[in-house]
Chains A and B, each alone.
Chain A
Amino acid sequence: MAAQAQLAALGDPTRRTIFERIARKPMSVVDVAAGLSVSRPAVSQHLVRHTTQGTRNVYQINARGVEALRAYVDALWSRALADFKAVAEASYQPKRRSK
């Protein structure tokens, strides 16, 4: 069943990590693979779509369906809230007293 296949694909921790890293910013395959116990070719296997634009290889997550969208939105808010926390804390000037 296609839906089960999608869930299985996104349930794979490695694939999910790759997905969230790419959601943060465009990056090279080498950077995506950094820290993961997978080889660059293995990373590429998770990025199903591979085309060439000029001299660049372009990889895209092959993810579809609502569950894929949910994973995307999840990664989007993770990124947004991390930056939000940083901005909120950096802009706050506490009136600290020594205890």
Chain B
Amino acid sequence: MDAAVKPVSVRKSVTVNAPIAHVFRTFTERQNDWWPRAHHIGKCEQFTATLEPRTGGRWFERGDDGSECDWGRVLVWQPPTRVVLQWSIGADWRYDPALKTEVDVRFVAEAQERTRVDLEHRGLEHYGDQAEAMRNIFDSPGAWAETLTIMAGAAENKPS
């Protein structure tokens, strides 16, 4: 199909009551403390999310058994104002270096102890090439399904 693909992105902002340097470090050095635990791609339940602090650095998780899974790369490293990450987690929830979506994060000091964080996750239209795999995300009982699934409790809740 030759038609231009419409860009698809997600934009989010959050205001943090702390200085910009601290907020930047929290984002880049302490991902493990705030990244939703259900969303990781390795097989270990216990893992450490790590960002190598330089342009071209790796972005990966390390399981407690030592296994590592790449998430992407550091495309732009400009502490404390900006970091751009390449997010290469495919629709099948696996690392796919050919998939290039970007997480662009800007840090703006609104006051000495107040920092606005503007995040844009763009390039989601690239998942369009993986339509088949994308369906599997929502159908499979794997990592994505974990978060998209609710257990209606035990048998007593079962509609008869």
Contacts and interface: CB of A to CB of B under 8 A. Distances in A.
Interface of A: 22-30, 32, 41, 44, 47, 49, 52, 55-70, 72-74, 76-89, 91-92, 94
Interface stretch (B50-58, B61-69, B72-80, B144-152): B144-152
Interface string B1-38: 00000001110101111110011001100100111101
Secondary structure dominating the interface of B: mixed
Given A80-B34, A84-B27, A89 B18 contact: yes
Interface string B119-160: 101001101100100110111000011111111111101110
Secondary structure dominating the interface of A: helix
B43 interface: no
B155 A55 contact: yes
Nearest to A64: B135
B134 A64 contact: yes
A38 to B, nearest CB: 15
A27 B134 contact: no
B17 A89 contact: yes
Contact of A81 (B12, B19, B128): B12
Given A57-B158, A77-B12, A79-B36, A66 B23 contact: no
A75 to B, nearest CB: 9
22 contacts: A22-B147, A26-B146, A26-B149, A28-B157, A29-B157, A32-B150, A44-B159, A52-B158, A55-B158, A56-B151, A58-B150, A60-B149, A69-B124, A70-B124, A73-B10, A76-B36, A77-B121, A78-B12, A80-B34, A88-B18, A88-B23, A94-B18
B8 A70 contact: yes
B26 A28 contact: no
Given A73-B10, A83-B34, 14 more contacts: A24-B147, A27-B150, A55-B154, A55-B158, A56-B151, A70-B9, A72-B144, A80-B35, A87-B26, A88-B16, A88-B18, A88-B22, A88-B27, A92-B17
